[in-house]
Amino acid sequence: MAEMLSQRQSQLLASVVEEYTKTCEPVGSKLIAERAATRVSSATVRNDMAALEVNGYLAQPHTSAGRIPTAAGYQYYVEHHLGDYRILARERRALQVDASEDGRERLKMFAKQLAELSGVCTVVGFSAHDVYYTGIANLFSQPEFQDYGFSFSMSEVIDHLDDAMPRLYEKLARTTDVQIFIGDRNPFGTRCSALVTGFGNRQDTCVVGVLGPLRMHYARNRSLLNHLRQAYLA
């Protein structure tokens, strides 16, 4: 679908994703037109939004509402617009833990700090069948959980984390880069996103990831995971 977007539509989609990430409110054409770097009419923005909806990148939750990104919209954004996020000093300090702890307990401490910083759930796979998670309260405080259907879906995801971990190990077998799994590509579930990284050696590989709604700060969470891996291995 990527080749079907014009440069203006691509930038419009990025604007919708970024605005919705901040507010969790459907984004209207008037707001986007007002914030556009170049002069674009609300009518033009409405037409582009309608085209993005037809192509599956945006959805309109209510007839009179603005649009929200779909899983495909987030995937496009991650592939074409995701920039770098520079870790803040307070975030670096938050990801410092007692180096005297053994590896397993130290990683659990890192996971708890990461859950607090990201505002979602942190999952640690010490092996494909040994899973630890933390930050459920942070996860369920997100606005998306006002939707009963979404809450039920995510509860099922959490109940079956052990089942998803072996598939995740397979996906991370050849890389230590942070991988982003959205919607249908996410082994944890289609209505959520996960950013995951693996580190260690072939005999002792750990997997750490953040799990949350499709609406999340992808660039920031990717940088936090990269920093966690570096801090743990230091």
Q: State residue 196's pLDDT score.
A: 95
My answer on whether 226 and 131 are in the same domain is yes
Give the number of C-alpha atoms closer than 13 A to the C-alpha of residue 30, restricted to the C-beta side: 1
**Residues 41, 152: one domain?**
no
Q: Say yes or no: 187 and 221 in one domain.
A: yes
Angle of helix 161-171 relative to helix 148-159, nearest 10 degrees?
70
Rounded average pLDDT over 33-49: 82
Q: What is the pLDDT of residue 2?
A: 47
Asked if residue 200 has pLDDT above 70, the reply is no
- Are 37 and 106 within one domain? no
The whole-angstrom separation of Cα 164 and Cα 186 is 9
Query: End of a domain among 26, 53, 80?
Result: 80
127 and 184, same domain (yes or no): yes
Query: Which of 70, 57, 114 has its CA nearest to residue 231?
Result: 114
Look up the CATH number of the domain holding residue 107. 3.30.450.40
Beta-carbon count within 10 A of 211 CB: 29
- For residue 1, is pLDDT > 50? no
Residues 124 and 76 in one domain: no
- pTM confidence score: 0.91
Same-domain check for residues 76 and 157? no
Q: Which of 35, 62, 80 is the last residue of a domain?
A: 80
Residues 131 and 58 in one domain: no
**Is residue 75 domain-shared with residue 95, that is, in the same domain?**
no
Out of 47, 80, 113, a domain closes at 80
What confidence score (pLDDT) does residue 133 get?
94
Same domain? For 202 and 140 the reply is: yes
Residue-level pLDDT at 203:
57
Residues 66 and 93 in one domain: no
Q: Which domain holds residue 6?
A: 2-80
| Confidence band, pLDDT 50/70/90 cuts, at residue 201 | low
Tell me the per-residue pLDDT of 76-125, one tens digit each, with 9 for 90 and over: 999 999 999 999 999 999 888 877 778 889 899 999 999 999 999 999 99
Average pLDDT, the chain: 88
Q: What is the CATH number of the domain that holds 41?
A: 1.10.10.10
- Please give the tally of structural domains in the chain: 2
Query: Phi and psi dihedrals of 65, rounded to 5?
Result: -90, 170
Residues 52 and 161 in one domain: no
Helix (H) or strand (E) holding 89: helix 89-94
